[in-house]
Structure 1
């Protein structure tokens, strides 16, 4: 079963001013104004010179309604002003012509807005489909490994930035990767696609984490050579779960090591890291993979720079390990959201892609 990708929250939620459907109060406002003025015209305590408020009805209708509804509300506005029963202002011909012109113009604007929104929705759907194909949702279980993840791109309106992660089964066991390419936002998407494509091929062919790292390094070197002054590079952590047993080999390539949650204790995995990928050094000065023996219930947590280098208003770094010590009792599936909520409270503004990948070995399950 694939865990559905959750909608972004907080600063990442798309507002109605950014293309989301308008809230209910925006749709109710022109109708409420129209009805309110009509009812008020029968009240002796309210002066009768409030008809000018009806001039706001057609422009307000444009924000939430299509051409037909906007035309109906515009006609209702003119009718309300001209029907003697409501005794509103007794407008002159110039006023009525002006209001009629504004209402007609609002109908045209509503038509243009509707066509534009349809085109934007189509483009957004295509973009989201392409982005999800690059970084798909991680399954809750891959072989004998239970997984939980969270991804928040720093660039608003996008699902993919400069971070990447994946968990894949292969003939040599389950492999996982989490990393960060040079830059973030849409400019880094092509590099992310290239790195993840190389990783998915390496899972099927290469026998260990060092070989996978060398393949990713070569991929970036080749891509960088195609573009003048590109200098593409990436940091990454590779995990190689043994097909049988409770061991995982961990290799860091210029990226901070994973954090191990064991019972109520939190510790950083000790590694001899290698250079970042893309420098052409993976075969020359490779890092040394560390073998970690996992106990039942142990969880390995991988995080991107957006978490580890987040700062509060005073400039202090987010104390990741210390904060995790307070969350050791949180379940695997809920832990990414708990960390995200805590990070959002700590830092006033998220300025980098935030990625979390939590893995736990469970050989008793299916797979």
Structure 2
């Protein structure tokens, strides 16, 4: 699943539904190429060579890319072509040619059965993947373009292509205390991480409305993650996360960082990393001496964009092994230019990241927010 939500006039980019991967073109053309190869051999080799016997495997070759009906057609075609080649060489009635036709028929029947089984497995995979995608859509609901007093845009791309599941999470909520958001990365990938993602998002969506401040929200997430670790018997379960709270009256944003990638602020044509005293990842509070993580406030006014990402983005490597230079790329694109919107930032990264790396080895999530004009 990959989804982006936009603010302003930009359209929403959403991949709707899971689609099976079609066989590559070369595999679909392979049976025809193989027939041409056999005919070429027939034309060049001596008549003593029973080249038509090579056609016995043609139905099996077709079964890799086509369904049972097409495989049956190739089986009949193979038998007819074998007979034609045998007739040309005046060996049509000989026993070995009759045996070849029987062998082709048997291979064709087995290949058609294999193709039918492959189609059933594909349908099962599509159904299972669609269920997994529906689950992730229920967990990681697309962020609306406006949440309370902020504009927002988000993107999520799991590392396991086609699985539609992953271990990154984000959410934004408009609460009486201000707009609160979270982005996080749980240990692990794929299906084993989905349960932990569900537990964390459930805790956040409840705590965001009830907790008095961000450290209190983090404490609720911590307790929820500890309970989850006890239930699944995983003593090493943890999650990195950044929590933010926006005060629209004071034009301030408060940030707590629990071992996560530092947020990036685009403000007044400049790009800054909002570094600060990080806390231990969620789930590891028993290792910390302090009871509450430190929170730091920053000015966050109209025209600013706050970007939150997971480490799958900054740790994406190019062919030379270099990490994706997030801050440098943002500065190259936005520094000294008019203020972008959240969708502008997310859309840029969504197109720029594939230029840096083709294969992602970790889930990638982005969440960008900006103050909404009250004029």
- The normalised TM-score by structure 1 is 0.81
C-alpha distance 66-284 of structure 1, shift in aligned 2 (>3 A): same
Are the counterparts in 1 of residues 38 and 55 from structure 2 also a CA contact under 8 Å? Answer: no
C-alpha distance 264-342 of structure 1, shift in aligned 2 (>3 A): same
Are the counterparts in 2 of residues 50 and 88 from structure 1 also a CA contact under 8 Å? Answer: no
Equivalent residue number for residue 249 of structure 1: 254
Task: Quote the offset at 1:301 in angstroms.
Answer: 0.9
Equivalent residue number for residue 205 of structure 1: 210
From 323, 333, 336, give the equivalent of 2:329: 323
Inter-partner Cα distance in structure 2 for 1:354 and 1:243: 29
1:1-367 equivalent positions in 2, closer than 5 A: 3-6=12-15, 20-30=21-31, 51-52=52-53, 54-83=55-84, 87=88, 90-91=91-92, 92-228=97-233, 230-242=235-247, 244=249, 246-280=251-285, 284-311=290-317, 316-328=322-334, 332-346=342-356, 350-364=360-374
Inter-partner Cα distance in structure 2 for 1:88 and 1:236: 75
SS at match of 1:333: helix
Deviations 1:44-74 (A, max 9, x none): 8998876455444312321232222221221
Task: Quote the offset at 1:160 in angstroms.
Answer: 3.0
CA RMSD of aligned residues (A): 3.6
Inter-partner Cα distance in structure 2 for 1:88 and 1:246: 90
Deviations 1:157-192 (A, max 9, x none): 433322211122233332210112223333222111
SS at match of 2:175: coil
Inter-partner Cα distance in structure 2 for 1:67 and 1:55: 16
Inter-partner Cα distance in structure 2 for 1:244 and 1:167: 18
Inter-partner Cα distance in structure 2 for 1:88 and 1:265: 81
Structure 2 unaligned runs (5+)? 6-11
Deviates more, 1:293-302 or 1:303-312: 303-312
Task: Quote the offset at 1:310 in angstroms.
Answer: 4.2
Equivalent residue number for residue 10 of structure 1: none
C-alpha distance 99-263 of structure 1, shift in aligned 2 (>3 A): same
Task: Quote the offset at 1:200 in angstroms.
Answer: 0.8
Inter-partner Cα distance in structure 2 for 1:101 and 1:315: 51
C-alpha distance 120-204 of structure 1, shift in aligned 2 (>3 A): same
- The normalised TM-score by structure 2 is 0.79
Deviations 1:181-208 (A, max 9, x none): 2233332221111001100111232233
Count of residue pairs the alignment pairs up:
354
Are the counterparts in 2 of residues 135 and 160 from structure 1 also a CA contact under 8 Å? Answer: no
Deviations 1:81-130 (A, max 9, x none): 32589837845211211112111221111122122222222222222222
C-alpha distance 84-292 of structure 1, shift in aligned 2 (>3 A): closer
